[in-house]
Amino acid sequence: MEIDKWVNWNKLGRGGEEMGKRRRISPAKKVELLREHLKNGIPVSEICEEYGIHPNVFYRWEKEFFEGGIKTFTREKGSRDGVPEEKVLRGKIKKLNEVISWLSEENIKLKKKENGEI
């Protein structure tokens, strides 16, 4: 009977869940945990123990969070007034397609005038 308790205890992770099953933590919850540490000064060890996560995971979230923050404040090369380069390029493509369409129509009209047929 004693061995059964040990086996069951050994299967459980820190969060009381069976090991081998990953728990998904939402991005909002991750930010909330980071905020608890950064603003309220709660030690990482306490947060990790309470939520059953490894400190390395917490520090990875922190790193990703700050890298994302850097991207937020970095103006992309080729952007205008904070508009991403992709949006600017999509606008240019749209204008070029309109020009191509107009030129094609004019070309067809000229051929009809010249030959009477296409």
> Does residue 64 form part of some domain?
yes
CB-based contact 10:4 (threshold 8 Å): no
Query: Residue 53 belongs to a domain with what CATH number?
Result: 1.10.10
Whether the model clears a pTM of 0.95, i.e. scores above it, the answer is no
> Does residue 49 form part of some domain?
yes
Sequence-separated (6 or more) residues with CB below 8 Å from residue 13: 19, 52
Whether residues 48 and 83 fall in one domain = no
At 43-82, the pLDDT tens digits run 999 999 999 999 999 999 999 998 888 777 776 665 555 5
Angstrom distance (rounded) from CA 38 to CA 99 = 53
Whether residues 52 and 86 fall in one domain = no
- Dihedral pair phi/psi, residue 20, rounded to 5°: 95, -20
Whether residues 41 and 66 fall in one domain = yes
> Does residue 15 form part of some domain?
no
Highest-scoring range by mean pLDDT, 9-13, 53-57, 112-116:
53-57
Residue ranges making up the domain that contains 111 = 75-118
Whether residues 57 and 83 fall in one domain = no
Give the largest CA-CA distance in the chain: 100
